[in-house]
């Protein structure tokens, strides 16, 4: 796994890098305030960003989140800052794991594993939510086009139940949905 280690800490970074490399990870390390952070993320395209900071400064998190805005990836933050406000801000910004006073090389793999699982579940939930929202929008559009088609048929002298029955019969004959028949009727009316 490609891991970008963004650091602003007094911790023993060589030990952390060695522990990650021992697990077969490819690690690049960059200072948190580096001007090249955005370019490094864009060019190298890490699979995980690990932030090691003594102080959960907003600007470090902000730089990483802005640089990752077009391609979401798991972010793990190790910090000495146990401020609940900083913790909530980090979680709201998309940090998958926020670990206080726990940056020990022997714990890295388990923390990263939990963060990857959380990130994966969050992505699945976002995808399910987006699909549900899309289905609601599509259903609403279908209902509107069916209502417009029924209104067209009612102007031709049909009752509402007769108009719907006509749309449904046509859909069954053509082996398509009522919404598709209604859409064609509304389009023909507009032409």
CATH number for position 31: 3.40.50.2300
Flag whether 84 is in a domain. yes
184 has a pLDDT exceeding 70: yes
Average pLDDT over residues 177-183: 93
Summarised one tens digit per residue, pLDDT across range 94-106 is 788 888 877 788 8
Instruction: Using alpha carbons, select from 111, 30, 46, 41 the residue that is nearest to residue 76.
Output: 111
Can you give the CATH number for the domain in which 160 is found?
A: 1.10.10
Cβ atoms < 10 Å from Cβ of 6? 28
Q: How far is CA 149 from CA 47, 156, 171, 175, in A?
A: 50, 11, 13, 18
Residue 147: partners with Cβ closer than 8 Å, 6 or more residues away: none
Q: How confident is the model at residue 44 (pLDDT cuts 50, 70, 90)?
A: confident
Tell me the per-residue pLDDT of 134-161, one tens digit each, with 9 for 90 and over. Answer: 998 899 999 999 999 999 999 999 999 9
* Statement to judge: residues 92 and 140 lie in one domain: no
Contact 101, 80 (CB under 8 A): yes
Q: Looking at the domain assignment, is residue 72 inside a domain?
A: yes
Query: Which residue is listed with tokens 């580096």?
Result: 34
Q: Is there a single domain that holds both residue 145 and residue 54?
A: no
Q: Say whether both 86 and 138 belong to one domain.
A: no
For residues 14 and 70, membership in a common domain is answered with yes
Higher pLDDT, residue 102 or 131: 131
Higher pLDDT, 105 or 3: 3
- The Cα–Cα gap between 50 and 14 comes to 14
pTM of the predicted protein model: 0.68
Decide if 120 is inside a domain.
Answer: no
Domain boundary among 84, 103, 122: 103
Euclidean distance between CA atoms 140 and 148, whole angstroms:
12
Residue 57 lies in a domain: yes
Q: What is the number of domains present in the chain?
A: 2
Q: Do 11 and 53 fall into the same domain?
A: yes
- Please report whether residue 69 resides in a domain: yes
**Does residue 91 sit within a domain?**
yes
Query: What's the pLDDT band for 40 if we cut at 50, 70, 90?
Result: confident
Residue 48 lies in a domain: yes
Please determine, for residue 82, whether its predicted confidence score (pLDDT) is greater than 80.
yes
Whether 49 is in a domain gets the answer: yes
85 and 147 housed in the same domain: no
Q: Are residues 14 and 87 located together in one domain of the fold?
A: yes
Q: 17 and 84: one domain?
A: yes
Q: What is the span of the domain harbouring residue 72?
A: 2-103
What pLDDT does 67 receive? Answer: 66
**pLDDT score at 38:** 80
Instruction: Name the pLDDT band for 59 (thresholds 50, 70, 90).
Output: low
Same domain, 7 and 98: yes
Specify whether 8 is located in the same domain as 48: yes
Co-location of 6 and 73 in the same domain: yes
């Amino acid at each position: 796994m490609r891991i970008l280690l963004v650091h602003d800490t007094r911790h023993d970074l060589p030990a952390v890098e060695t522990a990650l490399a021992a697990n077969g990870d490819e690690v690049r390390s960059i200072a948190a305030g580096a001007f090249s952070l955005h370019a490094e993320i864009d060019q190298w395209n890490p699979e995980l960003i690990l932030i090691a900071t003594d102080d959960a400064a907003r600007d470090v998190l902000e730089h990483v989140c802005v640089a990752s805005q077009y391609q979401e990836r798991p972010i793990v933050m190790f910090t000495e800052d146990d401020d609940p406000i900083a913790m909530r801000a980090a979680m709201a910004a998309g940090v998958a794991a926020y670990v206080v006073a726990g940056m020990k090389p022997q714990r890295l793999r388990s923390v990263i594993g939990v963060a990857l699982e959380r990130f994966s579940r969050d992505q699945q939930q976002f995808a399910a939510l987006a699909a549900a929202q899309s289905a609601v929008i599509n259903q609403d559009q279908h209902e509107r086009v069916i209502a417009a088609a029924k209104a067209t048929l009612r102007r031709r002298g049909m009752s509402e139940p007769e108009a719907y029955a006509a749309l449904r019969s046509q859909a069954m004959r053509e082996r398509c949905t009522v919404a598709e028949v209604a859409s064609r009727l509304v389009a023909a009316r507009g032409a």
